[in-house]
Structures are given as structure tokens and as C-alpha cells.
């Protein structure tokens, strides 16, 4: 009876569509902002008279705040209500976006970006939780399909628009664009989204939150700054790793022994949620590491200008968004695990294709590969999101989506740190290996000879030769990175078989 009453109270028809759009717009401004700014960072560096390392703090301060505050918003939603918190977070995000855009000094923008991250941390988990609350369980796939359209729009189209803004306007517009989208989301949520039903208010566990916040901040700092500080060669990284391990241990002990844990361990008894988290982390690694690799690969190896490489990346977004509109409906009749496996296999195949490209990168071929990769990403993440929350109780959903979003952020940072570091180190190693072969004692050079432009007896020839060797060393490093990504995806495919089929449970 209660389930029937709950189903009858859910919005439907045109109102449901409008609420869905409102809840898609909320996280869109958060993911869109990050993607835009990553491209505009170099332009910002010159305007603020900052070094590259100082300008990188504009992203780091935001990401640390985002990571630390994400679990907090989920934990306090039972006390203050999901809808009010969403409205407050949108208003705060817009306000500090505008302040960031008007900044004249590096110190100003670092402060504004930190608070932008504080408010932005609520947008993804609370909007996802709110969206799940207005759809019946059998339609979770449809809800996550539409939600995925908004989530993937930013990372895929952001670099394209960011490149256009950098080329024809200035970096401040990367912040100003949040205003119209944010205002529209605020008005629609305020007028359309129903209030959350009264839930049991839980006392706040200050020790648990403090320990988790310190651990997350330490890990986020390590992942974001590790490459610049040469990882564990740096005392700061070593100290932070010890702090992260210690505070994480205290958090786990507190969660298992406290009567009011900050994150209720009961959510980790849900097998689909736990393995969904692992696959969600993998998605973060795949999506954001490929965003770090593919555009510079097209520019440095294929010779494509910034705008053209952005247009090529937009085709991946088109594939992701088109397929997202259908995948959700497909999940009502097909085992979601089969769709996930299809998405992972296709994603691995497209990554392998990137590893086979040479410097002569054909436009049509790479566009088709990118479009296919977009389809793969939708077939991967939408059913993962659906299955992860298919059996979670409504009272745990806000905390569950917050922790889910947090670990996706960790996966994103992990992917960027791992593959950017691996690319840089392999480029150096390959350059050393190739350079060692260029000597007057090499039989090939001595007997066969080289073109005059690479004459090793002249400074100009050596310089030209070094440029060619550097490019080849970098190409080999890209190949290694793309093949490593392929291997990681393939190795993780067996995890899908550990998920329960929600369709079977629903029919049973």
C-alpha cells in the first residue's frame, strides 16, 4: 500500500520532464566550470602575472574544497532538507563564480575559487539523489540516462567551448557563463522540485567529518600536486600520505564503533553500491585521463590547432549524449550488466585505436573513433549509476550519492595524475633511449647517412634532430598510455559479473 501511495505522489508527464531538466542544470554548471577553466588557465596566468605553478592553484584550491565538502552536504541534508541546500549551493556557486571572474589578483581568485568549490560540492550528489526520488525504481535507468546527458556535457564540450573563449574572448567568461545557467537552474528548482519528506534527523559526528576531511584534502593535494613535486621524492608528499593514512584509519574506526557514524557503514552492505563505486572510480579515471591525453595528442602529434582539436572532442560528446537518450530506456528490458560490458569493451577498443595512430592522424577516422567512444561512455556509466542505487533505501540515498560523487572525484584526480605523470616520465625515458642511438658510431648513420637537415656535425642539424626525437619519444609515450588505459578497462570487466541484476529482483 505504501509503495502504491508513494508511486501515486510522484510527478509525471510534462512536470516530470521540467523537474528533470532543472536537476540536470544544477550539476551542469559545476562540471562545465571545471572543464572550461582547465583550458583557459594559461590565459589567466598571463592576466594575473602568475607563474604556471601559481596558476595551477586556481584548480587545486577548488578541487580540494570540492572533495572535502562533498560528503558534508549529503550528511546534513536530513537536517536542512535537500531542496533548500540545492538552492543555497546554486546561489553560492553563482556568487563566487562572478567574484572569480572579477578578480584582479591571484590571492583573490584563490579565495573565491575555494568557496566556489564549497558550494559546488553539493550540486552533483544532491541533484542525483533528488532525481532518483522523483522516479519509480523501475525507471531509474531513464532518470540516470537524462542525468548523464548533463554530467557528460561539461567534460566533453567544456574543452571545446573553453578553447573558443580563450581564442576570441578572455578567461573571465569561463566564470560569467555560469550566471545564466545557474539562474535558470535556481528558478526551476525553486518553483518545480518538490520538497523532501521529513526524515529522521541524525546527530552530526564532528570527529568523523574532521578525520574524513583531512584524509580527503591530503589525498586530493597529493594527486593534484604530486607530479610537480616529484611524488615521494618530496617530504611534503610523504608527510601528507602519512596524514591521509592516519586520519583515514581513525575515520574507519570511528565509523565502525560510533553510534552515530558520519557515514553509516550500512550503505556498504549493498553489493551493487560497493561494486558500482569501483566502476564509477574507473569511469572517472577513463573519462578525465582521456581528456588530458587526447586533445594534446591531436595538437602535438597530429598538428591540429586548438579549435580543431576541440571540435573533434565535441564528437565524443555528441556520441555520449545521443546514446544517453536511449540507454536509459534500454535498461528496462535488457540486463544492465550486458550494457555495461558492451560499453567497457567498446571503450577499450577505441582506446586501443588511439594507440595505433601515427602523426598522420586522419580527421574522419579520429572523429568516428571519438563518436564511438562517446557511445561507449554512456553505455558504461548510465547502467552503473542505475545499478548502484537500484536497491539502496531512500533514507540512505543522500549520503550514498555524496560518497559516490566523492570517489568519482578521487578517480578523476587519480586518472589525471597517473596518466599525466606516466606520459611525462615515458617521454623522458624514450628520449634518452632514442638519443643514445644518435652517434657517429651508429652503423646506420655512418654508412646509410641521414638527410642534410639532420646533419649531426652541425648545431642546426642537431637541433632539428632533437626536435624530431622529442616528438617521436612523446608519440611512443602516448601509445603506452593509451594501451595502459585499454588494459585497465579490460582487467576491470570481470567486476561487472559481481553486480546483481536489478531487473531480476524487480520481476521477482
For 151-163, the pLDDT digits (tens) are 777 666 776 676 6
Same domain membership, residue 90 and residue 39: yes
Weakest mean pLDDT among 75-84, 145-154, 265-274: 145-154
Asked if residue 2 has pLDDT above 60, the reply is no
Whether the pLDDT of residue 508 is over 50: the answer is no
- At residue 3, does pLDDT exceed 50? no
Q: Which range (117-131, 315-329, 477-491) has the least confidence?
A: 315-329
Confidence of residue 318 (pLDDT cuts 50, 70, 90): confident
Contacts with 500 (C-beta within 8 Å, 6 or more apart), sequence order: 271, 272, 387, 391
The answer on 221 and 189 residing in a single domain is: no
Instruction: Find the range with the poorest average confidence among 155-159, 389-393, 469-473.
Output: 155-159
What is the rounded CA–CA span in Å between residue 211 and residue 248?
Answer: 7
> Residue 506: is its pLDDT beyond 60?
no
Question: Which is nearest to 151 in space by CA: 183, 124, 185, 120?
Answer: 124
pLDDT of residue 5: 39
182 shares a domain with 115? yes
Are the CB atoms for 443 and 313 separated by under 8 Å?
no
Taking the CB of residue 246, how many other CB atoms lie within 10 A of it?
A: 14
Same domain, 53 and 146: yes
Min mean pLDDT across 228-237, 327-336, 486-495 is at: 228-237
Same domain, 118 and 233: no
How far are the Cα atoms of 110, 317, 385, 446 from residue 11, in angstroms, in the given order? 41, 30, 21, 79
Ramachandran angles phi, psi of 395, nearest 5°:
-70, -15
Note whether 236 and 291 are same-domain residues: no
Neighbour tally for 427: CB within 10 Å: 20
How many whole angstroms separate alpha carbon 125 and alpha carbon 122?
6
Whether residue 404 sits in one domain with residue 340: yes
Tell me: do 15 and 125 sit in the same domain. yes
Query: Are residues 319 and 432 located together in one domain of the fold?
Result: yes
If one counts the domains in the chain, the total is 3
pLDDT tens digits, 92-121 = 999 999 998 888 888 888 889 899 989 988
Domain identity same for 211 and 323: no
- Binned at pLDDT 50, 70 and 90, residue 183 comes out as very high
Tell me which of 261, 277, 307 is where a domain ends: 261
* Domain end residue (candidates: 232, 261, 290): 261
pLDDT-derived band at 75, boundaries 50, 70, 90: confident
One domain for residues 286 and 364: yes
Longest CA–CA separation in the chain, Å: 89
Cβ neighbors of 459 (< 8 A, separation 6 or more) are none
Q: Are 186 and 90 in contact (CB under 8 A)?
A: yes
Tally Cβ neighbours within 10 Å of residue 148.
27
Give the C-alpha separation, 86 to 194, whole Å.
12
Same domain, 239 and 299: no
Q: How many CB atoms lie within 10 A of CB 107?
A: 10
> How large is the average pLDDT for residues 343-369?
89
Tell me the pTM. 0.82
Specify the CATH number for the domain of residue 117.
1.20.1250.20
The grid coordinates of residue 258 equal 560510533
Residues 227 and 277 sit within 8 Å (Cβ to Cβ): no
Local confidence band at 205 (pLDDT 50, 70, 90 cut-offs): confident
Closest Cα partner for 163 from 154, 179, 152, 174?
174
Closest C-alpha among 390, 271, 386, 246 to residue 324: 386
In this prediction, residues 243-269 reach a mean pLDDT of 87
For 372-403, letters b (16+ CB in 10 Å) and e give bbbbbbbbbbbbbbbbbbbebeeebbbbbbbb
485: number of Cβ within 10 Å? 25
Instruction: Give residue 242's pLDDT.
Output: 93
Position 440 scores a pLDDT of 66
Instruction: Tell me the pLDDT of the chain averaged across its residues.
Output: 82
Q: What's the mean pLDDT in 283-289? A: 81
Angle between the N-to-C axes of helices 140-168 and 271-300, in degrees from 0 to 180, rounded to the nearest 10: 20
pLDDT at 101: 86
What is the average pLDDT across 228-255? 88
Domain hosting 231: range is 205-261
> What pLDDT score was predicted for residue 13?
76
Amino acid at each position: 500500500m505504501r509503495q502504491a501511495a508513494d508511486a501515486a505522489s510522484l510527478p509525471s508527464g510534462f512536470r516530470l520532464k521540467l523537474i528533470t531538466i532543472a536537476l540536470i542544470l544544477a550539476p551542469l554548471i559545476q562540471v562545465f566550470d571545471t572543464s572550461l577553466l582547465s583550458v583557459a588557465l594559461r590565459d589567466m596566468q598571463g592576466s594575473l602575472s602568475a607563474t604556471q605553478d601559481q596558476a595551477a592553484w586556481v584548480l587545486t584550491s577548488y578541487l580540494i574544497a570540492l572533495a572535502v565538502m562533498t560528503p558534508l552536504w549529503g550528511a546534513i541534508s536530513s537536517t536542512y532538507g535537500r531542496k533548500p541546500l540545492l538552492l543555497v549551493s546554486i546561489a553560492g556557486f553563482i556568487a563566487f563564480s562572478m567574484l572569480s571572474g572579477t578578480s584582479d589578483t591571484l590571492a583573490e581568485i584563490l579565495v573565491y575559487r575555494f568557496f566556489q568549490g564549497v558550494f559546488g560540492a553539493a550540486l552533483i550528489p544532491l541533484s542525483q539523489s533528488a532525481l532518483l526520488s522523483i522516479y519509480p525504481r523501475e525507471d531509474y535507468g531513464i532518470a540516470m540516462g537524462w542525468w548523464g546527458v548533463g554530467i557528460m556535457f561539461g567534460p566533453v564540450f567544456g574543452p571545446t567551448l573553453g578553447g573558443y573563449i580563450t581564442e576570441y574572448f578572455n578567461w573571465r567568461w569561463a566564470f560569467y557563463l555560469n550566471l545564466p545557467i545557474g539562474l535558470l537552474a535556481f528558478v526551476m528548482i525553486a518553483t518545480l522540485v518538490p520538497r523532501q519528506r521529513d526524515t529522521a534527523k541524525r546527530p552530526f559526528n564532528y570527529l568523523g567529518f574532521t578525520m574524513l576531511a583531512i584524509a580527503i584534502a591530503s589525498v586530493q593535494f597529493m594527486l593534484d600536486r604530486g607530479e610537480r613535486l616529484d611524488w615521494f621524492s618530496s617530504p611534503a608528499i610523504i608527510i601528507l600520505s602519512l596524514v591521509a593514512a592516519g586520519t583515514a584509519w581513525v575515520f574507519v574506526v570511528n565509523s565502525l564503533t560510533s553510534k552515530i557514524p558520519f557515514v553509516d557503514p550500512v550503505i556498504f552492505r549493498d553489493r551493487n553500491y560497493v561494486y558500482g563505486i569501483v566502476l564509477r572510480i574507473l569511469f572517472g579515471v577513463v573519462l578525465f585521463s582521456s581528456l588530458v591525453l587526447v586533445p594534446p595528442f591531436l595538437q602535438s602529434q597530429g598538428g591540429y590547432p586548438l579549435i580543431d582539436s576541440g571540435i573533434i572532442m565535441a564528437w565524443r560528446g555528441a556520441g555520449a549524449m545521443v546514446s544517453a537518450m536511449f540507454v536509459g530506456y534500454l535498461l528496462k528490458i535488457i540486463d544492465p550488466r550486458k550494457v555495461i560490458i558492451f560499453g567497457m569493451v567498446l571503450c577499450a577498443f577505441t582506446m586501443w585505436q588511439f594507440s595505433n595512430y601515427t602523426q598522420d592522424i586522419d580527421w574522419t577516422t579520429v572523429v568516428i573513433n571519438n563518436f564511438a567512444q562517446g557511445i561507449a561512455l554512456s553505455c558504461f556509466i548510465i547502467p552503473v549509476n542505475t545499478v548502484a542505487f537500484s536497491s539502496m533505501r531512500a533514507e540512505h540515498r543522500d549520503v550514498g550519492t555524496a560518497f559516490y560523487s566523492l570517489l568519482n572525484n578521487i578517480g578523476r584526480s587519480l586518472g589525471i595524475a597517473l596518466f599525466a605523470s606516466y606520459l611525462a616520465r615515458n617521454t623522458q625515458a624514450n628520449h634518452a633511449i632514442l638519443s643514445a642511438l644518435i652517434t657517429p658510431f651508429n652503423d646506420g648513420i655512418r654508412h646509410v647517412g641521414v638527410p642534410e637537415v639532420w646533419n649531426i656535425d652541425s648545431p642546426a642539424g642537431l637541433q632539428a634532430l632533437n626536435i624530431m626525437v622529442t616528438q617521436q619519444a612523446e608519440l611512443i609515450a602516448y601509445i603506452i598510455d593509451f594501451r595502459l588505459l585499454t588494459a585497465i578497462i579490460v582487467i576491470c570487466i570481470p567486476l561487472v559479473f559481481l553486480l546483481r541484476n536489478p531487473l531480476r529482483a524487480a520481476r521477482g
